[in-house]
Structure 1
Amino acid sequence: MTQPWWGALLGLTFAGGLLLVTARVAAIRRPQLSLRVLPYLRDLPAFARAPGAAPATADGLVGALLRPAADAVERVLGGAESVRRRLERAALDMSVHDFRVRQVVWGLVGFAITAAYAVLQSLSGSADLFISVLLCALGFVLGVILRDYHLTGQARDRERRILLEFPAVAELLALAVAAGEGPVAALDRVVRRSGGELSRDLARVLADVRTGVPVGEAFDQWAIRSGQPLVARFAQGIAVAVERGTPLADVLHAQAADVREAGRRELIEVAARKEVLMMVPVVFLILPVTVFFAFWPGVVGLSLTTP
């Protein structure tokens, strides 16, 4: 076979592979039936993904390639239950396996960065093979660990936003209940009129209630899912008030006051912990400049008067 025929064969093979990859990517990105149905469901879009968004599962092409590595990371690290709780606290629509795939991706990014550094060192002629391999392995491990820390940070940030939104939402619920609405109707009104992380959680509770779950049980499940004592106490208080007939408006007002008081105490504690750090610019920046401006004219005057 001549050289032009070999070129044509290689070109056809490359074009066929490119077409297969393009067709597979188009099939992966095609919206699923559930995403097309979601806009017509009344309760679910408040906390579900936006219509047309890419699914958060790891069943795509990259997920299929990285699945063995994700299983290996799961076997080495473990802690699937802890990861599942943090994913629920961060309101991330992914499974533990999806999170492990993302950890592998972060690890590969760290590996690529350290590998690029090792290549640059080898080009300069001052690289050691053992140290380069060790750095690449360390970059992969650091990427995996950083993704885990990032998940913890996401959960903590979301809990902080929930605590900031909590008093206003509790007062809105209390006003709606005091105006004569039932718990479900008041919850529906607050979910429709508000936005934020706490509103998404309440939308999920409302969706559970409308699918047949009792109100008390739906709030109990929310208390179990939540990682915050204040939110869990709020959910349990509503559940007990609904089950036993306690005045719900008084319970909601008391819960909002408790959250405001807890936020005030936390602010005072943070200020007390930061007191030493606040003294750093005063001692090392403002005070030396003040002393310099106070003594410098005298030093200049002495230098002018002394022979």
Structure 2
Amino acid sequence: MRQSPHSRREQAMELGMIGLGRMGANMAQRLVRGGHRVAGFDSSAESRARAAQNGIEPATSLAELVAALKPPRALWLMVPAGAPVDQTIDALLALLAPGDVIVDGGNSMYKDTLRRAQRLAEREIHYVDCGTSGGVWGLEEGYSLMIGGDEAAVAKLAPVFATLATAPDRGWGRVGPVGSGHFAKMVHNGIEYGMMQAYAEGFSILEHKREFALDLAQIAGIWRHGSVVRSWLLDLIADALAENPQMTGIAPWVADSGEGRWTLAEAIELGVSAPVTAAALLERIRSRDKDSFSDKLLAAMRNQFGGHEIRKE
């Protein structure tokens, strides 16, 4: 269901976006396209200038940003998880007033979110956590938004969420009280780890069957339509294989954002078996060990008990 321009104007809001990196700038731009007024702050003058070209009103400081908004204000944080979020909140506390709302749209640990919400509640400032998925495609395709927080505070921001989502009536929702949005996003990322690992292993098996000379991009394309393993991740795999069939120039080093670790820790704390998530996370960590002591020791053990060959470096 698409909103008419008239209905968008009736629901237009104003928002302050803090953090105009790739995600923050794209989200701000999507909001501007949807008829909302967005002021933005980033410590980088280059990021502010780039955002200004897309209709976002740049502010050179947090104080200037807050002053540009009418109370009760809504400010959306898109800054790295951890200390940067706390530092930004510290700076905002002297500028905000009761009734204002802070939305944390980054990948914060939900336990940190609970702590921050309690602190802000003492100042009668609402804290809403929004697990955000969609990556660089979100500007055009929309985002998946998992929202936690006070029902009334979330409801007031509904026009913003509806514009950012894939459609006004889907792809977003309040999943529970404060903390639940980031918790849901954490588990989402843990699932993502397992799905990515399964795809990577499957295509590696195909690639190693050299006598068949399989065209991996072709197989990915076939699986995209009608297959039970079709997904957006598979769409991205098909594109990547078409562009670079041999993955030439890509180092076998895989980062992790931390949310896979948090998901696994939560599973252990709750007594929930999550072997796929665990294996996927450990494979990512293993990919960074260029000089694997464990693999060397395994080879030495096989030589000790069975006289198996040891390959020299």
TM-score > 0.5, shorter chain as reference? no
* Structure having the larger proportion of residues in strand: 2
Larger helix proportion of the pair? 1
TM-score by length of structure 1 reads 0.32
TM-score, normalising length from structure 2? 0.32
Max radius of gyration: which structure?
Answer: 1
